[in-house]
């Protein structure tokens, strides 16, 4: 999403863009994140915030998020905006699950097992497995 955010030592001849993504409930509002956790970057927050830089740029993506995740609404909003821009994103929700839905050992591994199967199916569908 951010072609202009590179370190001077980065080798620009290398294609760094992934062929696919699997995302588990992520913080997409960089302004909120910078305000709370990295105030020294607040002046660059809009520039570094995925939520504030919506465009067609993601590879095929599987996005997994629990509905009880404190970031759920932010994730849902981001995914919808990205889909509206033409990105191929599948948004899978887990009713009542909090942040960290696939953590092994939580919720008798129900969400861990389900996310593992969904990722496997996703990777098969796009020809990676």
- In this prediction, residue 127 carries a pLDDT of 96
Mean pLDDT of 13-40: 92
Helix (H) or strand (E) holding 34: helix 30-37
With a threshold of 0.85, does the pTM exceed it? Answer: yes
Residues 9 and 25: their CA atoms lie apart, in Å, by 31
**Per-residue pLDDT tens digits for 69-111:** 999 999 999 999 999 999 999 999 999 988 888 788 777 888 8
Q: In the predicted model, is pLDDT for residue 3 greater than 80?
A: no
Q: Which of 24, 34, 22, 21 shows the shortest CA–CA distance to 98? A: 24
Q: Which residue has the higher pLDDT, 59 or 100?
A: 59
Helix (H) or strand (E) holding 78: helix 72-84
Q: Which two tokens stand for residue 89?
A: 């994103």
Q: Residue 19, class by beta-carbon neighbours within 10 Å (0-12 exposed, 13-18 middle, 19+ buried)? A: exposed
């Amino acid at each position: 999403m951010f072609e202009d955010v590179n370190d001077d030592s980065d080798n620009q001849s290398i294609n760094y863009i992934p062929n696919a993504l699997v995302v588990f409930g992520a913080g997409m509002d960089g302004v909120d994140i910078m305000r709370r956790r990295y105030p020294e970057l607040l002046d660059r927050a809009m520039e570094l915030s995925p939520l504030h830089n919506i465009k067609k740029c993601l590879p095929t993506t599987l996005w997994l998020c629990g509905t009880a995740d404190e970031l759920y609404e932010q994730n849902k909003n981001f995914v919808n905006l990205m889909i509206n821009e033409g990105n191929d994103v599948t948004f899978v929700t887990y009713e009542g699950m909090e942040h960290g839905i696939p953590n092994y050992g939580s919720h008798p591994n129900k969400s861990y097992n389900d996310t593992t199967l969904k990722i496997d199916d996703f990777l098969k569908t796009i020809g990676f497995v």
